[in-house]
Amino acid sequence: MRHKFFIHSWRPALAIMIFIGIWELSARIFAIETWILPAPSVIAAEMREVLPAFLPHMFSTIKLVLIGFTFGTTIGLIMGTLFHHFDRVRETVYPFLIISQNIPIIVLAPLLLIWFGLGDTPKMIIVAMTSFFPIAVATLSGLQQTDRELLHYMKMMGASKRQLFAKLELPHALPSIFSGIKISATYSVMTGVVAEWLGAQKGIGVFMTLASSSYRTPRVFVAIIMTMLLSLTFFAMIALLERLFIRWNREEKGA
């Protein structure tokens, strides 16, 4: 598996190198001003310079995103499961969830700051709020796509509701649940950064605000690149977890 990964990864790596090469060249040839679009070499130099100052901001964002995302995932899983088991709850609550996803963060953040103060709580709520929804939806649809015949079969054998859920529905829903988690993970870092940008003491969002208010475009790019790296790492971790879980799932089924 690992093998294949390295063999296949040369393509995207080459593509990124070519992209950066073209960017660097055109920045030099057309003499693009740094404050409009800095060349990759300028960004790299800036990164070396500001990294020590940047790290505390990044750790603050990581903490915020991890906690918010964990809450969001837990809530999403619980909601999805509840909706699957209790139709009335689903009918009553589902519309509220959809509405909750339509509140623009840009107006919600200041309100949360008034309600919960300027600590980490309001930002964690924003991350949790945006990350639970894809997971709840994916969990629900995963659970509802259980093989009807197997379900029927297990019922005939006298399986209890709990057994049905643990042995059949949940393992079958895992791929779907993980797609939901992956979608959420991808967005949660960005959401965290935006939330910080709307009011915080530390974090990538604050760093970005300071950089852009002083017209330091290279610094803005440093923040963008670090945000992307963070997102990718986060995604890779979830993908790894998925592989572990689903393999375990397959093995158990095979046995």
Partner 1 sequence: MKRFIQMTLIGLISVALTACGGAQPDTQNNQGTAGKSVSLFLDWTPNTNHTGIYVAKEKGFYKDAGIDVEVLLPGEVSAEQLVATGKGEFGISFQNHVTQARAQGLPVVSIAAVIQHDTSGYASPVEKGIESPKDFAGKTYGAYGSELEKSMVNFVMQQDGADVKDVNIVQLGNSDFFVATKRDIDFVSIFYGWTGIEAELRDVKLNFIKTTDYAKDYDVYSPVIVTSEKLISEDPETVQAFVEATAKGYQFAIENPAEAADILIAAEPDLNPDLVKKSQEWLSPRYQDDAPQWGIQESKRWEAFADFLFKEGIIEKEVDATQAFTNQFIENIKK
In whole angstroms, how close is the CB of 29 to partner 1 at the nearest point?
18
Residue 106 vs 229, nearer CB to partner 1? 106
- Among residues 52, 96, 162, 214, which is the contact residue for partner 1, using CB under 8 A? 214
Name the residue nearer to partner 1 (CB basis): 53 or 228: 53
DSSP-derived secondary structure for the chain: -HHHHHHHTHHHHHHHHHHHHHHHHHHHHTT--TTTS--HHHHHHHHHHHHHHHHHHHHHHHHHHHHHHHHHHHHHHHHHHHHHH-HHHHHHHHHHHHHHTTS-HHHHHHHHHHHH-SSSHHHHHHHHHHHHHHHHHHHHHHHHT--HHHHHHHHHTT--HHHIIIIIIHHHHHHHHHHHHHHHHHHHHHHHHHHHHTS-SSSHHHHHHHHHHTT-HHHHHHHHHHHHHHHHHHHHHHHHHHHHHHHHHHHHHH-
Q: For partner 1, give the closer residue by CB, 42 or 150.
A: 42
> Residue 211 CB, nearest distance to partner 1 (Å)?
9
Closer residue to partner 1 in complex, CB, 1/114: 114
Question: Which of 60, 61, 139, 217: binder of partner 1 (CB under 8 A)?
Answer: 217
Q: Which of residues 128-187 bind partner 1 (CB under 8 A)?
A: none
Interface region with partner 1, contact rule CB under 8 A, candidates 24-32, 148-156, 209-217, 239-247: 209-217
CA distance 236 to 185: 10
Nearer to partner 1, 36 or 99 (CB): 36
Residues between 20 and 39 that touch partner 1 (CB under 8 A): 33-36
CB atoms inside a 10 Å sphere around CB 41: 13
Contact window for partner 1 (CB under 8 A) among 137-145, 162-170, 210-218, 247-255: 210-218
Of residues 76-135, which lie at the interface with partner 1 (CB under 8 A)?
106-107, 109-110, 113-114, 117-118
Q: Establish if 209 lies at the interface with partner 1 (CB under 8 A).
A: yes
Query: Which residues are near partner 1 by CB under 8 A?
Result: 33-36, 106-107, 109-110, 113-114, 117-118, 196-201, 206, 209-210, 212-217
